[in-house]
Amino acid sequence: MSGWNASDIPDQSGRGAVVTGANSGIGYVTARELARAGARVVLACRSAERGGAAVDRLRAEVPGADVEFGALDLGDLGSVREFAGTWTGRPLDLLVNNAGVMALPYGRTADGFETQFGVNHLGHFALTGLLLPSLLDAAAPRVVSVSSGLHALANIDIDDLNSEKQYRRWVAYGRSKTANLLFVHELARRAADAGLVAAAAHPGYAATSLQARGAQMEGRKGAERFYEVGNRVFAQPAETGALPTLHAATAPGVRSDDFYGPRVMMWRGAPARSWRASWTVNDVAGERLWAASERLTGVTYEGLKG
């Protein structure tokens, strides 16, 4: 089925971009295609080894690409602040909040947050807020957050954001992906007069290493094998899975609070506006999650209306 693809990305010359989790999967493809279109791209990754290898690979695939590695651990707010500090005084045109973890065994970040909520939502909430001055210095800034169709598994529990009452890995994942969409919804409202577009995307079922990581951590070989077979048989490649993110990040006509995903049953195919659960556009929930996120991270968004 034909549709929007990477060759449709408008010229990105002169634009600066940060892509989190860009050492592999859809994050790597996103960074590569932005660089191919002329953007200056920082691959913001936790591992210096994997991030450096990704930069080398990208330069080999796109000769002349203007790319660099940036150290960023979204599970450590100190690392988030340190990374954001490197952007002081220079504009940032595009922030792609791509990095994430999926269905991990229960754990906590360096700051004591449940890992999936802490990495997938709070780390990116803090990063976006700390980079906001650089974003607002750009002519047409965008923030794109990568959620998932599996946000439909669960709404957030504002009274148990860190899953302290009960932890179920897939419920916690769904809540973290709902949090991504609520964050975009509320950011879009607050940034309506600031010229910043906040949008979201999801890759459908894309073949990446994300699915099997939790099983690997626990030594569940059967589950790991199940995900590997699923990726081979049913998933679309990361090349295609990155297209909704790239569309949200670059295409003309993208509106704040848009949510893009594969057009065929939210599973595969070219990007299109995607269905989302009604609870992800709830103004009250968005405001309450925002207030809790500010309190937990200590990051406030100066310059936007409340």
Q: Could you say which of 173, 205, 260, 301 is catalytic? A: 173
- Other beta carbons within 10 angstroms of residue 234's beta carbon come to 11
Task: Please state whether beta strands 94-97 and 197-201 pair in parallel, antiparallel, or not at all (unpaired).
Answer: unpaired
Residue 77 CA to residue 81 CA, distance in Å, equals: 6
Residue 28 CA to residue 96 CA, distance in Å, equals: 11
Query: At which residue do the structure tokens 């960074």 appear?
Result: 31
Catalytic annotation on 173?
yes
Phi-psi region of 62 (alpha: psi -120 to 50; beta: other; left: phi over 0): beta
Tokens of 191: 């940034």
Residue 14 and residue 41 in contact, taking contact as beta carbons nearer than 8 Å: no
Q: Find the angle CA(188)-CA(143)-CA(203) to the nearest 5 degrees.
A: 105
Helical ranges in the chain per DSSP H: 25-36, 48-61, 77-85, 115-117, 124-136, 169-190, 213-218, 221-233, 238-241, 243-250, 283-297
Residue 121 and residue 179 in contact, taking contact as beta carbons nearer than 8 Å: yes
Residue 76 and residue 21 in contact, taking contact as beta carbons nearer than 8 Å: no
Task: Please state whether beta strands 94-97 and 142-146 pair in parallel, antiparallel, or not at all (unpaired).
Answer: parallel
Residue 79 CA to residue 127 CA, distance in Å, equals: 10
Three-state DSSP at 226 gives helix
- Enumerate the active-site residues: 173
